[in-house]
């Protein structure tokens, strides 16, 4: 079964972005993101794509936009969440991928919650300035694992936390 998951990093106030960028740099979190998403379809909003600036290598990059003329090399463009998820599923089935990742930003997370079964969350244990938020998971979710990292080098402690949607809520 192909699973639809989200992957996000948020701070102690659920901030995920500032001025179109990530508010922090945590190198181990970028590695974690790369390892999990490697080889799989990733779905993102147009603003998140533009913040990254290029398609991420070794992943099937899907961008969601309302702009019918939007084109980017080596990316699939869709004008709705449903179409994007269908496109990702087709790719995943043909390429033996087990996962589809919704990678943000805030607008796309909010509109895809009904499709998502698993959430890979990096809790950044600090307060940052920001303008873009993640809406906290509700009672339909249960935590299944948690790993704390001191991260003394960058001075930003964080935890990798995984949640699953409670089966009766699927």
Ligand X SMILES: NC(=O)c1ccc[n+]([C@@H]2O[C@H](COP(=O)([O-])OP(=O)(O)OC[C@H]3O[C@@H](n4cnc5c(N)ncnc54)[C@H](OP(=O)(O)O)[C@@H]3O)[C@@H](O)[C@H]2O)c1
Residue 159 as a binder of ligand X (CB under 6 A): the answer is no
Of these, 104, 141, 156, 165, which contacts ligand X (CB under 6 A)? 104
Cβ neighbours of residue 106 under 8 Å, at least 6 residues apart? 16, 17, 132, 133, 134, 135
How many Cα atoms within 13 Å fall on the side-chain side of residue 62? 28
Residue 65 as a binder of ligand X (CB under 6 A): the answer is yes
Residue 17 as a binder of ligand X (CB under 6 A): the answer is yes
Contacts (CB under 6 A) with ligand X, residues 29-48: 44-48
Distance between CA 104 and CA 99 in Å, rounded?
16
Of these, 2, 75, 107, 162, which contacts ligand X (CB under 6 A)? 107
**Of 55 and 105, CB closest to ligand X:** 105
Residue 74 as a binder of ligand X (CB under 6 A): the answer is no
By CB under 6 A, the count of residues binding ligand X is 28
Q: Is the dihedral of CA 23, 28, 29, 31 positive or negative?
A: positive
Of these, 4, 77, 132, 156, which contacts ligand X (CB under 6 A)? 132
Burial class (CB in 10 A: 0-12, 13-18, 19+), 133: middle
Tokens at 135, concatenated = 């809406």
Residue 165 as a binder of ligand X (CB under 6 A): the answer is no
């Amino acid at each position: 079964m192909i699973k639809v998951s989200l992957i996000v990093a948020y701070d102690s106030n659920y901030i995920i972005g500032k001025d179109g960028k990530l508010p922090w740099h945590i190198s181990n979190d970028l590695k974690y993101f790369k390892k999990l998403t490697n080889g799989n379809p990733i779905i993102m909003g147009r603003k998140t794509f533009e913040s990254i600036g290029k398609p991420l290598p070794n992943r099937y990059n899907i961008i969601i936009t309302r702009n019918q003329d939007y084109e980017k090399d080596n990316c699939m463009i869709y004008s709705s969440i449903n179409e994007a998820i269908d496109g990702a599923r087709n790719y995943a089935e043909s390429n033996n991928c087990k996962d589809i990742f919704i990678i943000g930003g805030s607008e796309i997370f909010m509109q895809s919650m009904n499709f998502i079964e698993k959430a890979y969350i990096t809790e950044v244990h600090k307060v940052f300035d920001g303008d873009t938020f993640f809406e906290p998971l509700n009672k339909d979710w249960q935590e299944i694992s948690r790993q704390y990292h001191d991260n003394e080098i960058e001075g930003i402690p964080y935890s990798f936390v995984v949640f699953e949607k409670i089966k009766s809520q699927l």
